[in-house]
Amino acid sequence: MTAWDSAFLAAPPLTEAEDRLPPAHKLYALRTLPMGEIRAIGFDMDHTLARYRSPEIDELAFKKSARLLVRDRGYSPWLLERDYDPDFAVRGLVLDGLRGNLLKLNRERQVVRACHGSRALARPELEAIYGRRRLSTAAKGFRNIDTLFEIPESHLYARMVDGLDGGHLKAENYLQLFQDVRWAIDTAHRNGEMKAEILEHRDFFIPRDPQLALALDRLKRSGKKLFLLTNSEWSFTDGVLGHLLDSLDEARPRWVDYFDLVVVSSRKPAFFLETPEPKPLADHPHCFSGGHAAWLEAKLGAQGEEVLYVGDHIYGDVLRSKKNASWRTLLLVPELERELRLLEAKAADLRERYRLETARRRTLRRASVLHDQWQRNRARRHVLGQRLSAEAMQALDHEATQLAASTEVLQRRAEALHLELEELTRSVEAAFNPMWGPMFRDRDELTRFADQIQQFACAYIGKVGNLYAYDPLATVYGPLPTLPHERRM
């Protein structure tokens, strides 16, 4: 047995082919992230350190919430017969509880797609309801679907809208459905039944990632202080992270050994807005319930941009920690791996779409110039009138005929390109989701969700284990800011 036998190694050596990371394993920086300046790194747990098996966990929440609505709110058993459709909703949508609609917004907060219940709204219906004005999602009756926990909520609400419209369910209006669904989803997560089932079947619901422990260990050995900041209570946190991290490293036999500070029941986003006193947990040193951001910074000896927080919730994890505590932020996007896989699969179609759109715009630009030349020709003929010879008039008319014919040919070509482009676009977007298309984009526009990522996240990543491939003391560079005229340089 040689000194290089794999039995002696903490992890197998990298092969030459592993020097380039696959896209799904990369960290995508939006701003330059100087890891050497960061003293403390914090993690959310649900859908961050712990990635729950989807769509199975979503169906569990859907079914338990439906049972609560039938048992405790008197809804018809018809609701229990509805199946969960994992492809119905995506993160980043907005639920309109007043009208029974689910909405996809672009970065200008305008509605670009919508459905009433589970029925897609045609463009004329959509514009009749919302027009082209900017939508305020903070108004009464709106709910942002910003976390993976809220995906089953949006589908359950859509099913209930269908039921109310079809006479299968009774309620005063769509808003009552909205409020009852909110109650049912919250209750399903808080009454302990769902968490007990997850822990009972943790091998199924909580898949392990071998890179997670390696990533946390590398960060800690580099001198970073690690902390856990989660809204989950201690018993569930202990069960989940014990399953993921216990007994993987002889130097850190228990999951708490990876963290310098553990905060459960944190009440985010209130953790960043209020200042309640933390409560120490008996028999668990460095573990607390509650608290607030200023207390945590003092406890860790790091503040502001010396802290990096990793979470999956745009509002509760990223926006509030950025705006109220000035922490650097890393957004977990578990859906990123699938989106990247589809982008790769559709790469040829996306290139063809770009070619068609470029050709369409150039054709329209040329048609516009020829049409202007035709207008100038007609204006010249009108102004000069009798001063032109018959030969000159004939030449002008001949030129006008040619310009008009060429313009018509170009316009027909642009229309044909447009139809081809529309068909290809629908095919590509349906591959991501038949109802909503890609999560980050709608045609040529960024979605509201993507815009929020750009505004508030320093970087985003598919899973925490991907951090293992990055030097904890190096700088991760964001894209160079450019103006449009600089992009060919």
Q: Considering the candidates 46, 180, 312, 451, report the single residue annotated as catalytic.
A: 46
Query: Is 205 within 8 Å of 53 (Cβ atoms)?
Result: yes
* Phi, psi angle pair for 390, to nearest 5°: -60, -40
Q: How far is CA 431 from CA 88, 94, 342, 427, 434, in A?
A: 13, 21, 7, 7, 7
Catalytic site residue 312?
no
- Given the residues 5, 19, 44, 442, the one annotated as active site: 44
117 Rama sector, left if φ>0, alpha if ψ -120 to 50, beta otherwise: left
Q: Which two tokens stand for residue 414?
A: 């642009």
46 is an active site residue: yes
Q: Please list the alpha-helical segments (H only) found in 135-208.
A: 151-165, 174-190, 193-200, 202-205
User: Token pair of 1, please?
Assistant: 């047995």
Distance from first CA to last CA of the chain, Å, rounded?
56
Radius of gyration of the chain (CA): 28
Q: Nearest 5°: CA angle at 111, between 106 and 117?
A: 125
Burial environment of residue 6 by CB neighbours within 10 A (0 to 12, 13 to 18, 19 or more) = exposed
Q: Which of 290, 203, 212, 269 is nearest to 245 (CA)?
A: 212
Dist. CA 48–CA 50, nearest whole Å = 5
What b/e sequence results for 118-130 when a residue is b if at least 16 CB atoms lie within 10 Å of its CB, and e otherwise? beebeeeebeeeb
- CA atoms of 203 and 181, how far apart (whole Å): 29
Compute φ and ψ for 163, nearest 5 degrees: -65, -40
The pair phi, psi for residue 95, each rounded to 5°, is: -95, 125
Active site residues per annotation: 44, 46
